[in-house]
Chain A
Amino acid sequence: MLEVKNLTKIYSDGTVALKNVSFTVQDGEFLVVIGLSGSGKSTLLRCINRLIDPTEGDILWNGVNTTTAGTKELRVIRRKIGMVFQHFNLVKRSSVMTNVLCGRLGYVSPAATLIGRFSRQDTERAYRAMDMVGIRDQAKKRADELSGGQQQRVGIARALMQEPEMILADEPVASLDPVLAHTILGYIEKINQQTGVTVLCSLHYLDLVQRYATRVIGLKAGEIVYEGTKNDILNMTDTQFKEIYGEEAQRVGTGSITGGTQL
């Protein structure tokens, strides 16, 4: 269980990215975070695995307070939280295999990685992860030779290597076309449903939100302005929408599950 309590993040330049945010995520949920660009979605996800240090508030994960974790504790916390990025963030010049193996870094000793060796088990695990997202035959290619969709699958395989209990996905399909978006979210959903991994995912397309989310929170200017279940989002009203997306936002194709309805 993940508990976010009164989380506030103020960047060094004074930008208030998150304001007193609190919510709880039960194990196995597929929680979608929606909100305009700049509303604080990325900041929120990065606070959870401490890529960003929160200014105030607590994050309890399975009872452990991540905000006060030391270097060693943090390593143990992070390796159980996989992360998937909008721009994939693969090490472009390394091979697909090396990128997937990177997901194991939290488990191996730094001395071993100095020599650049991973164990046989890790290599086998990498092949299994690649099989799961259908990229085994790309293993030897350089990461930047792959298409966007393939790169994101490498990103998912890398997260899988961590044997995660939770996956943070920061707009994982925002750089992909709608068909690919379904494929990628399909993989994440499969992981969520088959292994019970909790998913926190920020999304931009309403139909994707309605299709995959089990619960939704809406951010606006760093504050939670909406919280709802799958049913709630299917029946979302225009007023609630404007709350999240501002006056100028139009809701196109209400409730539509097909097509790329963009908020």
Chain B
Amino acid sequence: MNTHPSVRVLPPPAAGLLSLIFPGLGQLCTGAVRKGLLISTSFLTLTALGLWRVSVLAHRETGWIDKLQKALSRQPGFMMLVILLFAAVWLTSIWDAYFLAQKRKKDRSAKGRNIIFALILTHFFVIGWQIAEIDLVKMVQKFPDTIPPLLKILMPWEAAIHRDRIEVDAKARILVDSEGEIPPVPEMIEGQPYIQVEPRTGKLSRMDSQGNIVEGTAVTIEGSGYAPLTEVQIFWNDAVGNAFRPRIDGTYAGTMTDAKGSFSYRMTMPYRLVPPSADGPQYHTVEGRQLQGMGSPKPSEPLVLTVQLIIETIFMGMMATLFGIIFSIPISFLAARNLMFGSLWSKILYYITRTILNIIRAIEPLIWALIAVVWVGLGPFAGILALTIHTIAALGKLYSEAIENIDPGQIEAVQATGATKLQTIIHAVIPQMIPPFVSFTIYRWDINVRMSTVIGMVGGGGIGFLLVQYIRLLDYRSAGIAVWFIAITVSILDYVSAEIRNKFI
């Protein structure tokens, strides 16, 4: 490095002073133009961002002092850190300008240090953390809330099967809290469930004057003729026929039948207010109800819908790919440099095509779907349209690159044998085109099916629509079925497309 003692450089204190007036100014005037500009613009941006966040935190306050105080009281940690970094950037810029000027006195092209950029970057990330509303505490604290729905989503299969059910019951009468004729043992009817209760008279549980429960008579309920290994619910009917299900220690009265469909259940008679007007013998009824599955299990409605929509989804991806191929092949020729760099006009056409393709590709299919829904209404067609538009652009570019990569040597060699144009295309061009075309197309099909699983969320048809609906209805098991089907479909697709592509490359 050459030293130029004759070149005048700003004296270090002046450089420092300039950066005190505005960060970066000192560096700028010392000749480090790019560094100075970078510091100044960063500082301006950080100031603006900081002020914006303060006014967001204190949107009701008017004066800046009030706003600052409010912001400080709301998020003291963040505010302190930002103010500290703000000061640090400012001070470092002063020190940096001084240091740089001092160095440049000896060597015109001295570089100085870049600690200030580390500070600026930190500052940006601190503000970014706050803008993004990152809240790790909430994330950890609220995590348990997600477990029940998550478990349902992970294990949704009981919602996948549906069985028609029928309720059967058997009754037995019991004389309660009164004198009278003890009811007979119920008669057994062939093919029907049956219960009997012993003893057939007793006292209900009641409440004494201190409000304590006095236990009633213990009874044993014997049942038979029920479906085996299925729950039986015990109900109690009072004298006027009000049925209720007694609770014993918080759980409802009931038991499971054994392998023969019989059960024996012991309980104390429940607490029940007897109507004051009642006199004479009071007969209550004990009831054993059972819900029995009827016929064979059937797929549930959510399962059927999910299967239908996953098929719709796969076909949406396929149709979009098909239409994409049809349109992108001719377009890819216009976007191939080696074909279009002949005349000026074709060159212009090439650049126009490329630009349009790039713009279309830059817009995500989900956004195209929003537009398509306005265009052709809700449903799978909107999704197909959106995916097709994106596919044309994506495949158009990939295909054109495949065309650009054609080896002219192979064409030349086949031409040299005396082959006609058609023969040259068949024997030299197509063999070169097939592998990339197949590979890109399969790749795109894969993407399209993936995309059609989410495109329904904005109304573009397919499984996504159903999934969003189930989640909005908090029907996590049904949502789980959809999620599982999406996962399975996408994995299979992943595998298949990788296999096909490997075959062709």
Residues of A in contact with B (beta carbons under 8 Å apart): 49, 51, 71, 74-79, 81-83, 85, 87, 89-94, 98, 102-107, 110, 113-114, 116, 155, 158, 161-162, 168
Docked CA distance A90–B412 (Å): 10
Contact A51 B410 (CB under 8 A): no
Jot down 13 A-B pairs with beta carbons below 8 A, ordered by A: A78-B416, A79-B417, A82-B416, A82-B417, A85-B409, A91-B410, A91-B428, A91-B432, A93-B431, A94-B427, A110-B422, A158-B413, A162-B417
Write the B384-424 contact mask toward A (1 if CB under 8 angstroms, else 0).
00000000000000000000000101101111111110110
B412 touches A78 (CB 8 A): no
Nearest B residue to A72 by beta-carbon distance? B420
Number of interface residues of B (CB under 8 A): 21
| A61 vs B420: C-alpha distance when bound (angstroms) | 21
B426 touches A114 (CB 8 A): yes
Interface status of B149 (Cβ within 8 A of chain A): no
Taking CB atoms, residues of chain B closer than 8 Å to A91 are 410, 413-414, 427-428, 431-432
Contact A90 B423 (CB under 8 A): no
Residue on A nearest B504 in the bound complex, by CB: A93
The 4 closest A-B pairs by CB, nearest first: A106-B418, A79-B418, A89-B413, A105-B419
User: Is B427 within 8 A of A51, CB to CB?
Assistant: no
Which listed residue (B412, B415, B416, B426) contacts A113, Cβ 8 A? B426
Contact yes or no, A76 B419, CB < 8 A: no
- In angstroms, Cα B414 to Cα A158, docked, is 10
Chain B residues closer than 8 Å to A92, beta-carbon distance = 407, 410, 432
Chain A residues lying within 8 Å of B407, measured Cβ to Cβ, are 89, 92
**B216 interface contact, C-beta 8 A:** no
**A93-B416 in contact (CB<8A):** no
19 more CB-based (< 8 A) A-B contacts, given A74-B418, A102-B428, A110-B423: A51-B415, A77-B418, A78-B416, A82-B416, A83-B413, A89-B413, A91-B413, A91-B427, A93-B432, A102-B413, A102-B417, A104-B417, A105-B419, A106-B418, A106-B419, A107-B418, A110-B422, A155-B413, A158-B417
How far apart are the CA atoms of A51 and B417 in the complex, in Å?
Answer: 11
Instruction: Provide the residues of chain B in CB contact with A98, threshold 8 Å.
Output: 427
Q: How far is the CA of A103 from the CA of B416 in the complex (A)?
A: 9
Bound together, the chains give a CA A79 to CA B418 distance in angstroms of 5
One of A76, A83, A110 near B416 (C-beta < 8 A): A83
- Is B112's beta carbon under 8 Å from chain A? no
Q: Does B228 contact A (CB under 8 A)?
A: no
Complex CA distance for A225 and B99, rounded to whole angstroms: 67
Instruction: Kindly list chain A residues whose C-beta atoms are within 8 Å of the C-beta of B419.
Output: 102, 105-106
B410 adjacent to A75 (CB under 8 Å): no
Across the interface, do B417 and A106 meet the contact criterion of CB distance under 8 Å?
yes
**How far apart are the CA atoms of A81 and B426 in the complex, in Å?**
21
Residues of B within 8 A of A90 (CB): 410, 413
A93: chain B residues at CB < 8 Å are 431-432, 434-435
Closest B residue by C-beta to A71? B420
Q: Please tell me which one of the listed residues A79, A81, A82, A89 contacts residue B412 in the complex, with CB atoms under 8 A apart.
A: A89
Neighbouring A residues of B414 by C-beta, 8 Å? 91, 102, 105
Chain B: minimal CB distance from A88 (Å) = 8
- A residues near B420, Cβ cutoff 8 Å: 71, 75, 105, 110
Which residues in chain B, 160-189, are within 8 Å of chain A measured between CB atoms?
Answer: none
A49 to B414, CA, bound (A): 12
